[in-house]
Amino acid sequence: MRPLGSLLGDFLRNFQDDADKTELFLRELWPDVVGPELARRTRPLALRCGRLEVGVPAAQWVRELEPFSQAIRDAVNQFWGTRMVLSVEFRVSDFVLL
Q: What is the pLDDT of residue 21?
A: 75
The pTM score is 0.80
Q: What is the pLDDT of residue 88?
A: 98
Residue 38 CA to residue 76 CA, distance in Å, equals: 13
φ, ψ for residue 95, nearest 5 deg: -80, -5
Q: What is the pLDDT of residue 97?
A: 57
Nearest C-alpha neighbor of 65 from the set 96, 35, 38, 97: 38
Q: What is the pLDDT of residue 5?
A: 47
Residue 45 CA to residue 96 CA, distance in Å, equals: 9
CA 92 to each of CA 2, 3, 8, 41: distance values in angstroms, whole numbers, following the listed order: 40, 37, 30, 11
Q: From the first residue on, what is the mean pLDDT of each consecutive set of 10 residues in the chain (98 residues)?
A: 49 58 85 94 92 95 96 92 92 75
Q: What is the pLDDT of residue 12?
A: 54
- Domain 4-92, architecture per CATH: 2-Layer Sandwich (3.30)
Q: What is the pLDDT of residue 2?
A: 43
Residue 5 CA to residue 81 CA, distance in Å, equals: 10
